Structure 1
Amino acid sequence: MKALVDCIHCYLKQAVSCMEMVNIPDERKIEVLYILMDFIKTLDPQASPAYNSSLVLLKTYEIIKNRDPYCYAKKQSNALALELYEDMKKKVFGASDPLYSALKVAVAGNVIDLGIKRDFDIETELSNAFGYGFSIDDYALLKDRIKTAKDIVIAGDNAGEIVFDKILVEVLRQMGKSVYYIVKTEPILNDSTLEDAKEVGMDRIANVVDTGVGLLGIPKNLVSLEVKQLILNADVIISKGQANFESLDEFEEIQANIFYLLKIKCEFLAKKLGFKLGDLVLINGENSKKRNSE
């Protein structure tokens, strides 16, 4: 997915959010934003929004001299999600279709997004996910593919959210599937790293693999060879969140194997794909491409 003019103000919003995490004074924020405006002029407009956002964030970290401004917030998100974990797990495993319920819980966790909007109500999101489900729903196709799959890859997204992904992993393991869970190597926004995976116990139930880079999404030509081959060879990939959606489309040859699971938080993306802002979406990669070309 290529970046458009609509993305530029989001780069700056993310930078502001980042600086607010570590209480940068307003006067300094303005100075940093002016520097970033010049930096944004150098970005490749053909690159994905996730990649350009990463470059702007890393530049911000460099300027404010803080490599992980979301460190404390990520721990808070993990702690909040862990408080809800047991109740959600019981609800999922007590459902008539645990896999479908686990996917709903996993997508509800996607609301924990500290990049731009830092106020979220995870309990309301969980309730809405169970009550209303997906606006675009390729579950029947995913379920059919999972039945014959051996290896399943989950491309993780945020801290906190990773706790709800654990329930999905546990359901898949009960179905006899081998699960790989992808995290970031270095901190970027509030994305999950190996530290988060260990903190919430994901490493005890899944094969946790890091991307080899500290960038949003999974850029095909920048991640480690291990991750690239893992995605290319997996029977099913479940992609969490918008940055993974924006970057995994680079793996054009395996879109039939990818299922995107996310909450639509971007007005531009909503218009581009015919979604509504706030929609919960479970869509196969090939079907997504069809919608994009219409």
Structure 2
Amino acid sequence: MKLNTKCIVCNIQQAIRIAEFLDVDDKNRENIMRKVLGYLRDADYGLSNPQIMKGTWDIIVEELGNDNPYKDIKRFYNEEMLMMYNELMGIVKSSKDSFQTGLKMAITGNLIDFGPSHKFDRDILIEMINNLDSQNMVVDDSKKLKDMLADSHTLLYIGDNCGEIVLDKVFIEQIKSEFPKLDIYFGVRGKAIINDVTLEDAKMVKMEEVASIIESEDGTPGTILENTGERFQKMFESADVIIAKGQGNYESLSDVKREGLFFLFMAKCPVVAGYAGVDEMSILCMENAK
């Protein structure tokens, strides 16, 4: 999915958001904005937004002298969600369709904006989870996903953001309980970028209890296959089923057509919604077959 000019606004907002979050002084804010705007002026608009965002991010962190400015906020959300893990797992196990509940719960994690505002409302999250049955997926390939998992040997589950990684773990634990012979791998970014999941986040939530962790070796807030490491590429090619979480993974992998590639995400902006052919704020479990 190529960059839309409307995506430029998100890149600019990211620079503004970090500067405000870290209380950067006016002189440095102006310097960051001038360099970001210069970069965006000359960027290749044939690339995807996650690729452009990586360039924007690299400028920001270089100017800040801090390659992981959201480290503390990411830890906060991971810890808050981890305290709910047993409760969330209980909701999945006690439901009439544990697989479907776990899947929708994982997508619910994508509904919550784990941005740098440092606001977390546990009651709102629980209310959303308790109303999972009323959340209809406008594209629902979950039955095919489950059927394919039953006949598969390997699953590559590509993560998205901090906080919601705990809901991913809940869903993966349910998958593992239903398909115990399945080898499951959890993909993370190769280095810190925005609030995307990295090896540090995966270890923080003890993802290794339910899956083997594999790094992409790339710092894009999505999955640009040609930029990932050889091990990740081989896993992507050989996995029987791939679950790619979040809008960034959809934006960067939507042009990759292969059976068994499923996107779980919410279309949180009109550009992505239009590309996917759904209404904004729709939730999807979509196979990207040929």
Q: Same fold (TM over 0.5)?
A: yes
Deviation at 1:267?
1.4
Q: Distance in 2 between matches of 1:123 and 1:16?
A: 31
- 1:283 is matched with 286
Matched ranges for 1:126-275 at <5 A: 126-174=129-177, 175-176=179-180, 177-252=182-257, 254=258, 256-275=259-278
Deviation at 1:168?
1.1
* C-alpha contact 1:112 1:160 (8 A) present in aligned 2: no
* C-alpha contact 1:48 1:247 (8 A) present in aligned 2: yes
CA RMSD in angstroms comes to 1.9
- 1:71 is matched with 71
Cα separation, partners in 2 of 1:74 and 1:112, compared to 1, 3 Å = farther
- 1:292 is matched with none
The number of residue pairs the alignment matches comes to: 285
Deviation at 1:207?
0.5
Q: Distance in 1 between matches of 2:119 and 2:280?
A: 16
Instruction: Give per-residue Cα distances to partners, 1:36-71, cap 9 Å, x unaligned.
Output: 111112211111111111111111111121111110
- 2:6 is matched with 6
Instruction: Give per-residue Cα distances to partners, 1:151-202, cap 9 Å, x unaligned.
Output: 1110000011110111111111112121100011210000111111111110
Task: Report the AA paired with residue 274 of structure 2.
Answer: K
Task: Report the AA paired with residue 213 of structure 1.
Answer: D
* C-alpha contact 2:77 2:114 (8 A) present in aligned 1: no
Cα separation, partners in 2 of 1:270 and 1:249, compared to 1, 3 Å = closer
Identify which range, 18-27 or 226-235, moves more after superposition.
18-27
Identify which range, 206-215 or 118-127, moves more after superposition.
118-127
- 1:46 is matched with 46
Instruction: Give per-residue Cα distances to partners, 1:227-254, cap 9 Å, x unaligned.
Output: 11101111111110011111123533x2
- 2:98 is matched with 98
Q: Distance in 1 between matches of 2:9 and 2:16?
A: 11
Instruction: Give per-residue Cα distances to partners, 1:139-160, cap 9 Å, x unaligned.
Output: 1211211111111110000011
Q: Distance in 2 between matches of 1:222 and 1:231?
A: 13
Cα separation, partners in 2 of 1:268 and 1:117, compared to 1, 3 Å = farther
Q: Distance in 2 between matches of 1:88 and 1:270?
A: 29
Q: Distance in 2 between matches of 1:127 and 1:206?
A: 26
Q: Distance in 2 between matches of 1:117 and 1:129?
A: 25
Identify which range, 185-194 or 33-42, moves more after superposition.
33-42
Q: Distance in 2 between matches of 1:42 and 1:116?
A: 28
Q: Distance in 2 between matches of 1:133 and 1:250?
A: 25
Identify which range, 234-243 or 139-148, moves more after superposition.
139-148
Instruction: Give per-residue Cα distances to partners, 1:10-36, cap 9 Å, x unaligned.
Output: 111122222233222355324321221
* C-alpha contact 1:77 1:112 (8 A) present in aligned 2: no
Question: Which secondary structure state, in structure 2, belongs to the residue aligned with residue 5 of structure 1?
Answer: coil
Identify which range, 121-130 or 218-227, moves more after superposition.
121-130
Task: Report the AA paired with residue 156 of structure 2.
Answer: V
Task: Report the AA paired with residue 29 of structure 2.
Answer: K
Q: Distance in 2 between matches of 1:275 and 1:250?
A: 17
Aligned residues with identical type, % of pairs: 28
* C-alpha contact 1:21 1:70 (8 A) present in aligned 2: no
